Amino acid sequence: MTEILLFLVGVAVSAFGTMVGFGGGVFLVPILIIFFQFPIELAIGSAMCALLPGALVASIFNFREKSIDYVVASLLQLPAMLGTVIGAFLVAYIPVLPMQVFFALFVLSIGIYMLATYRKVQTRQRGMMYRINRMPTSFIRKNHPRHLAYRLNGSLMAFLGLCTGVIAGLFGIGGGFLQTPIMIKAFNIPSQIAISTSLFILIITSLSGISSHYWLGNIDWNQSIPLMLAFAVGALLGNILKKRQATTSRKSSERLIGIGLVLAGASVIIHIFLKYEF
């Protein structure tokens, strides 16, 4: 009975994670610890394993739909890998717990902001981000199959990628759930491109995470393989639901991402309480 329930939970988490571009790991870890009594290290290792097949399945669909921006993925993920190392190094020098609480509240506030503003009509921006995206190192990306175009500042995107990596290394959580809103709100990238690109980035993140946790002995394949299967099924379901969502509007995508950020912030708070045993 427990195995069936765990499988169903994995499918649901993966489907929602696929729709919002987070993958679902930030939601899965607290669930495994609270409801299935996983040790925290084993929960993180199992979540890393589960993310890989889900990201692979989603990326196959997104590749066929021509909705992945590989340039954006490189600009975000390569600096993020360096940032992860920096964040892990900083743990020894700064008080992590207050920053974790601040970060969780920050994520919650972003989620609430997206939920409060997703109905607003997009207007042509003339503010700071508009000017930054027209400074040197800016360029226009065109997605011809989907008839989309958007302007990026490569230096700023790489810097934000570095920041998400530092967060991942410093707080011991994935930074993927920040990359999707960054792409949408900071660079005005269409939501479906942002979600697909974030899921593609997750392939690299989960591969490196699996390698690290396997070396640390935090992976039990008997428990991880059923979750990996569940996340693959959930990714299939998520892509079906995402296609239906794509026929509505960008607003529905931003609303789901806002909900995802609120849940992610709450998950981070729960993770902190479990980690420090308050």
pLDDT at residue 126 greater than cutoff 70: no
Percentage of the chain surpassing pLDDT 70? 86
Contacts by 247-251 with C-beta closer than 8 Å and gap 24+?
Answer: 250/122, 250/190, 250/191, 251/118, 251/119
- More confidently predicted of 144 and 97: 144
Tens digit of pLDDT for each residue in 157-207?
999 989 888 877 666 566 677 888 889 888 889 888 999 999 999 888 888
| The pLDDT value given to residue 90 | 76
pLDDT of residue 198: 92
pTM for the whole thing? 0.84
Residue 149 region by backbone torsions, left for phi larger than 0, else alpha for psi between -120 and 50, else beta: beta
**Does the pLDDT of residue 57 top 60, yes or no?**
yes
Q: DSSP class of residue 184? A: I
More confident residue, 10 or 249: 10
Range name among 129-133, 153-157, 272-276 with the lowest pLDDT average? 129-133
Q: Can you tell me the distance from the alpha carbon of 261 to that of 259, in angstroms, rounded to the nearest whole number?
A: 5
In 3D space, the residue among 4, 2, 91 whose CA is nearest the CA of residue 38 turns out to be: 2
pLDDT grade for 225, boundaries at 50, 70 and 90:
very high
Residue 259 pLDDT exceeds 80: yes
Residue 273 dihedral angles phi and psi, to the nearest 5°: -60, -40
pLDDT at position 87? 78
Query: Burial letters for 170-180: b for 16+ Cβ neighbours within 10 Å, e otherwise?
Result: bbbbbbbbbbb
